[in-house]
Structure 1
Amino acid sequence: MLKTETPSAAHPDLDLYELPQLVSAFIEDQVEAVDAVRRAGPQLAAAVAAALPRIQAGGRILYAGAGTSGRLGVLDSVELYPTFSWPRERAVAVIAGGQQAMFVAIEGAEDDDVQGAADIAALNPGPNDVLLALAASGGTPYVLGAIRAAREAGALAIGFANNAGAPVTAAAELGITLDTGPEVISGSTRLKAGSAQKMALNTFSSSLMVKLNKVYGNLMVDLKATNAKLLRRAVALTMRASGADEALAREVLAKCDNHVKVALVAIKKNLTVQQSRELLDASGGSVRRALNG
């Protein structure tokens, strides 16, 4: 039996717990998710290193999964645009059962390896693309089909699974094992297995974005200010990084479509917005290189 399916020896009488003990059991079990991601740190670092040159060459980040794993892939793909201004067309997720599976469980869709391959093939993957293939069990046919199609097209396939020796990690060019063990509720991998996948995806994509010069220091200077909250954040980031007062920060941001990177370099180097953009372009998008150049 898969470890993710094995009943938890720590909580055989879960249904008898008083509420405080029950809540504590769920919370404490999440610590194992953190530990699993920590153990996978070297694998995650290797995956980012392998993906980086492909993405720098214009490749896309593709995601494939079923159920909770699929929804987590969609979530990661969607959040890259507002957080890092990453183009939507360069972060594309497919999920077993199609878009409706985001909201309604589509039973049986995960068992269709042919559809998994077809969904990825429909994206016309190429050698610079990177597939993140997610399966808690590690044997989901839909995900295995996606990996097969990606690799046949020359794309880099990275497999994430919550069981050691899983087919998904074996089929992928690089495998990341998030060994979270038995769940508090047997087999409910939306619990700590899902938490570990979310953390691993956050770590992978955020590390990639840092290396793509989307961050200055630890500030998200390439965010897309698409609402009032993010606009306030853009102002605060510009003030913090440049030392400018609010009035100046807002004035320069208004001239560059609220692009923190551009405003920051313009203020710090006393440049026009156009000069700032040109300097950033010449610096590969790196604020640090633009400021020190």
Structure 2
Amino acid sequence: MPLPTTETVPAGDYIDARTALHAATFLLDGQLAAIDAVKHAAPALSKGAQRMASAIRAGRSLHYAAAGSSGLMALADASELHGTFGIPSDQINIHMAGGVPVDGYMPGDTEDDETAVAQIAEKMRAGDIVIVLTASGTTPYALEVSRIAQRKGATVIGIANNSGTPLLDLADEPVCIQTAPEVIAGSTRLGAGTAQKAALNLMSSLMGIELGHVYRGEMVNVIADNAKLVRRSLGMVARIAGVSEDAAEAAIAQADGRVKPAILVATGCQLEQALSLLEQHSGQLGPCLASLTSNQTNGSN
């Protein structure tokens, strides 16, 4: 039986036969090639992002499910959604085979444990999005999550690094990121892992944009829960509303730290009006500001 691409043994000048500097360059070339592979999956990732945004708008949940290094990539992306885009944490679920490791030990046999999936099935609902990752495309845990998710009426976005694999056949939205053989055979934390991380970043960032949580390239739905982010929020309100930092600070206080309504308050509207405008325009700040400008122009005529 032929090996999947991610398991293929490299031929020729092996990495361990190179000098340290040449080995480092070889590793970096593999990482760059992995990122390049993500470009070919951009259309599928864009569709996945739209599905994710629709689910969040409808009050449904996102589920990330994977094992091993793929699970770590899923964990990294899912854990950033609340802080970066203000996605409610109760709409984000992380399912990692064997659980999230709390030390340097991550057992490998958990990826074969299909019975563990029954414990997470109760959290899935019709209309949810389940993002399943596996470099091989054949991991039993990942496949069982996909089957149960579909039985629950959830949509499966399946990301694999090998074409023609069971996960891609099962998925409602298959995403194949065909990475080259690893420079260290089978070590999918390298090229495949980098490609998965980039793909997840791309998809979740597109989701944030679709939801209106990015305006003029800034994170206008950020959760400002540390000093750095408080300063960033202050700067966003001042820049976008075109007001002083004192006025921005007052608007942020009135809006209880929420950047989008604070920007609208800083432009001159009441908080209730700001919240109403955001609801009318599905959280999109641009149309809200355009509406205020139009009303001000009409009022001056």
What band does the TM-score fall into relative to the shorter chain?
over 0.9
Match of 1:280 among 273, 278, 281: 278
Counterpart residue number, 2:121: 121
C-alpha contact 2:237 2:266 (8 A) present in aligned 1: no
- Which 4+ runs in 1 deviate beyond 4 A? none
The structure-2 alpha-carbon separation of the partners of 1:260 and 1:81, relative to structure 1 and needing over 3 Å to count, comes to same
C-alpha contact 1:222 1:259 (8 A) present in aligned 2: yes
The structure-2 alpha-carbon separation of the partners of 1:102 and 1:129, relative to structure 1 and needing over 3 Å to count, comes to farther
**Deviation digits for residues 99-137 of structure 1, max 9, x if unmatched?**
337853123100012223x143131x2221000000011
Counterpart residue number, 2:146: 147
Counterpart residue number, 2:175: 176
Q: How does 1:26-37 map to 2 (within 5 A)?
A: 26-37=27-38
Stretch deviating more after TM superposition (150-159 or 248-257): 248-257
Counterpart residue number, 1:199: 198
Counterpart residue number, 2:299: none
**Deviation digits for residues 197-230 of structure 1, max 9, x if unmatched?**
0111111111111111111122110000010111
Q: Distance in 1 between matches of 2:120 and 2:179?
A: 28
Q: Distance in 2 between matches of 1:188 and 1:60?
A: 31
Counterpart residue number, 1:64: 65
C-alpha contact 1:120 1:149 (8 A) present in aligned 2: no
Structure 2: gaps spanning 5 or more residues: 292-301
Q: Distance in 1 between matches of 2:72 and 2:50?
A: 25
Structure 1: gaps spanning 5 or more residues: none
Stretch deviating more after TM superposition (206-215 or 41-50): 41-50
Q: Which amino acid aligns with 1:40?
A: A
Counterpart residue number, 1:106: 107
C-alpha contact 1:64 1:95 (8 A) present in aligned 2: yes
CA shift, 1:64, in A, is 0.4
CA shift, 1:48, in A, is 2.5
Q: Distance in 2 between matches of 1:19 and 1:248?
A: 55
Aligned residue-pair number: 289
- Determine whether 1:209 maps to 2:205: no
Q: Distance in 2 between matches of 1:100 and 1:114?
A: 19
Q: Distance in 1 between matches of 2:206 and 2:276?
A: 25
Counterpart residue number, 2:7: 5
**Deviation digits for residues 21-64 of structure 1, max 9, x if unmatched?**
11111111111111111011111122223444333221111010
TM-score between both structures, scaled by the size of structure 2: 0.91
Aligned-residue identity in percent:
36
TM-score between both structures, scaled by the size of structure 1: 0.94
Counterpart residue number, 2:290: 292
Q: Which amino acid aligns with 2:160?
A: A
Q: Which amino acid aligns with 1:284?
A: S
C-alpha contact 2:208 2:214 (8 A) present in aligned 1: yes
Q: Distance in 2 between matches of 1:239 and 1:7?
A: 55
**Deviation digits for residues 149-191 of structure 1, max 9, x if unmatched?**
1000010011100111111111111210011120111110000
Counterpart residue number, 1:54: 55
State the Cα RMSD in Å.
1.6
Counterpart residue number, 2:98: 97
**Deviation digits for residues 255-292 of structure 1, max 9, x if unmatched?**
22221111111122x11233322222222211111111
Counterpart residue number, 2:44: 43
SS of 1:263's equivalent in the other structure is helix
Stretch deviating more after TM superposition (277-286 or 214-223): 277-286
Q: Distance in 2 between matches of 1:187 and 1:12?
A: 17
Q: Distance in 1 between matches of 2:104 and 2:169?
A: 30
The structure-2 alpha-carbon separation of the partners of 1:102 and 1:38, relative to structure 1 and needing over 3 Å to count, comes to farther
SS of 2:101's equivalent in the other structure is helix
The structure-2 alpha-carbon separation of the partners of 1:273 and 1:50, relative to structure 1 and needing over 3 Å to count, comes to closer
